[in-house]
Amino acid sequence: MGGKAQISLGWIEWIKGWLLVLYDILFQRILACHLKNPLQLPPLNGLTCIVTGATSGIGLEMAKHLAEGGAHVVMACRKTRAANDLIQKWQKECSGMAGLLDIEVMELDLLSLESVGKFASAWNARQGPLHVLINNAGIFSIGAPQTFSKDGFEEHMQVNHLAPALLTLLLLPSLIRGSPSRVVNVNSNMHHLGFVDSNDLNVTSGKRKYSSVIGYSGSKLAQIMFSSVLQKKLPSEAGLNVMCVSPGVVMTNVARDLPRIIQTGYHLIPYFLFSAQEGARSTLFAATDPDIPEYCSVLRADDWPVCPYFSGDCRPTNASAEAHNVDSAMKVWDKTLELIGLPSNAVERLMEGEVVPCKYCHQNMTEVDY
Ligand SMILES: NC(=O)c1ccc[n+]([C@@H]2O[C@H](COP(=O)([O-])OP(=O)(O)OC[C@H]3O[C@@H](n4cnc5c(N)ncnc54)[C@H](OP(=O)(O)O)[C@@H]3O)[C@@H](O)[C@H]2O)c1
């Protein structure tokens, strides 16, 4: 295809992406009217769930709801004091009810790959099973200039994709020990606006002009591509399903970087926006619904190139056309593993019982037994 045709195709996808976001804002409440709020969960006793970014917004609601449902919940947060204050408050609220919540805090700062390695070492030292990992923490620094983490990566790419990718891979042994288990990535329909150049994940080459929308949407698309390859690499006997979900358009702190005038507009349309509790439903559904493993195994059997993707109304939906680009997804996989300091065949080696070297870990990745 010629350059001009490609550019106009890019514009068409971009416009389609924005129309989809607008459609979400206008119709999500109608499309989700079959859902209860809060979502009713199956009994979760005996399950261990890690939720990243559980101090505000969607993550806070999910952590509380999962703990109330009987799960052992780990709030993986950078503001550990705020998380502990929340736990105290929730324990007081439920003291008259069935008993104390089984919930704890562990420190995790996704802006530091070393912190991810530390978190994983501390978790893996327990040698326990993990049943659900929810990669929820994310940033959208709307309108802000381009910034880089101390690891040298564009911050949206690091917090929304690279660090959760490292976390997921380092927790694989624990997830497989807990199988049937799930990884749920809180993604966004804004990935439809995204494009990922695996040779320019930092958007510094000058080929594209950086904006926060480009940074955010690219990081969310990279997460879907990475999740799809991971899902393909995991043998079905491992019993681990990897999914992405859109929470809908949700009233949370995610809009804190909007200029004040737009923020006012954002808060003036509460009818259209989901509350954080409503926005938590699709992730909770993917994390706990008993029919999910069967749905995932059908997709595997079909050799569908994209991992399962759920919309804010908990229905399976289609990720963007670019997310189906297998060639780009493989390139994103290889580049991601290179940047997070793991060999590109880390999953295969781990599954074969080998010890895998890891740049950001305190020990090497240990073998899995499944
Ligand atoms: N709200 C929406 O309309 C919407 C739509 C689509 C997708 N999403 C996605 O939903 C997820 C949750 O966002 P939200 O809307 O609930 O926003 P939020 O209220 O801003 O919550 C984001 C959470 O991520 C944590 N976080 C940010 N940077 C972190 C870091 N470096 N290390 C560890 N934790 C970090 C925050 O912790 P701190 O308190 O420490 O900052 C906070 O707990 C994100 O992945 C977002 O992209 C949201």
Enter the tokens of residue 31.
Answer: 């499309």
Nearest CA to ligand 1 atom 16: 57
Closest by CA position to 231, among listed 146, 313, 302, 156: 302
361, part of any domain: no
Nearest CA to ligand 1 atom 37: 53
Whether the CB-CB separation of 48 and 130 falls below 8 Å is answered with yes
- With a Cβ cut-off of 6 Å, ligand 1 is lined by 53, 55-59, 77-79, 108-111, 136-140, 159, 186, 188, 247, 249-250, 252-254
Q: Which residue has the tokens 């439920």?
A: 94
User: What is the model's pLDDT at position 255?
Assistant: 64
204, part of any domain: yes
Test site for ligand 1: of 79, 187, 253, most ligand atoms within 8 A of the Cβ: 253
Nearest ligand 1 atom to the CA of 273 is 3
Q: How far is the CA of 369 from the centre of ligand 1 (A)?
A: 33
Nearest CA to ligand 1 atom 25: 53
Q: How far is the CA of 136 from the centre of ligand 1 (A)?
A: 7
CATH of the domain at 294: 3.40.50.720
108, part of any domain: yes
Instruction: State yes or no: is 216 an active-site residue.
Output: yes
20, part of any domain: no
Nearest CA to ligand 1 atom 39: 55
Test site for ligand 1: of 23, 24, 25, 139, most ligand atoms within 8 A of the Cβ: 139
- CA 6 vs. chain centroid, Å, equals 30
362, part of any domain: no
Nearest ligand 1 atom to the CA of 109 is 32
User: What is the model's pLDDT at position 8?
Assistant: 58
Test site for ligand 1: of 29, 58, 227, 274, most ligand atoms within 8 A of the Cβ: 58
Alpha helices of the chain — where are they, by DSSP H?
Answer: 3-31, 57-68, 80-93, 113-124, 155-156, 163-170, 172-177, 212-233, 260-267, 276-279, 281-288, 292-301, 326-339, 346-351
Concatenating the DSSP letter of every residue in 154-219 gives BHHIIIIIIHHHHHHHHTHHHHHHT-SEEEEEE--GGGGG----TT-TTS-SSSS---HHHHHHHH
Q: How far is the CA of 53 from the centre of ligand 1 (A)?
A: 6
Q: Which residue has the tokens 């910034």?
A: 147
Q: Look at the chain and report how many structural domains it folds into.
A: 1
Nearest CA to ligand 1 atom 5: 249
Whether the CB-CB separation of 307 and 228 falls below 8 Å is answered with yes
Closest by CA position to 263, among listed 278, 253, 248: 253
* 8-state DSSP, 306: S
Nearest CA to ligand 1 atom 7: 188
Domain membership of residue 45 as a residue range: 28-338
239, part of any domain: yes
10, part of any domain: no
pLDDT tens digit at each of 370 positions of the chain: 445 555 555 788 889 999 999 999 999 999 999 999 999 999 999 999 999 999 999 999 999 999 999 999 999 999 999 999 999 999 999 876 668 999 999 999 999 999 999 999 999 999 999 999 999 999 999 889 999 999 999 999 999 999 999 999 999 999 999 999 999 999 999 999 999 999 999 999 999 999 999 999 999 999 999 999 999 999 999 999 999 999 999 999 876 666 665 666 666 677 889 999 999 999 999 999 999 999 999 998 888 899 999 999 999 999 999 999 999 999 999 999 999 999 999 999 999 989 899 999 876 676 555 5
How far is it, in rounded angstroms, from Cα 35 to Cα 38?
Answer: 8
Enter the tokens of residue 286.
Answer: 């993917």
Q: How far is the CA of 50 from the centre of ligand 1 (A)?
A: 15
Q: How far is the CA of 236 from the centre of ligand 1 (A)?
A: 31
270, part of any domain: yes
Exactly one of 23, 216, 266, 309 is catalytic; which is it? 216
C-alpha distances out from residue 27 to 162, 222, 263, 282, Å: 32, 27, 21, 16
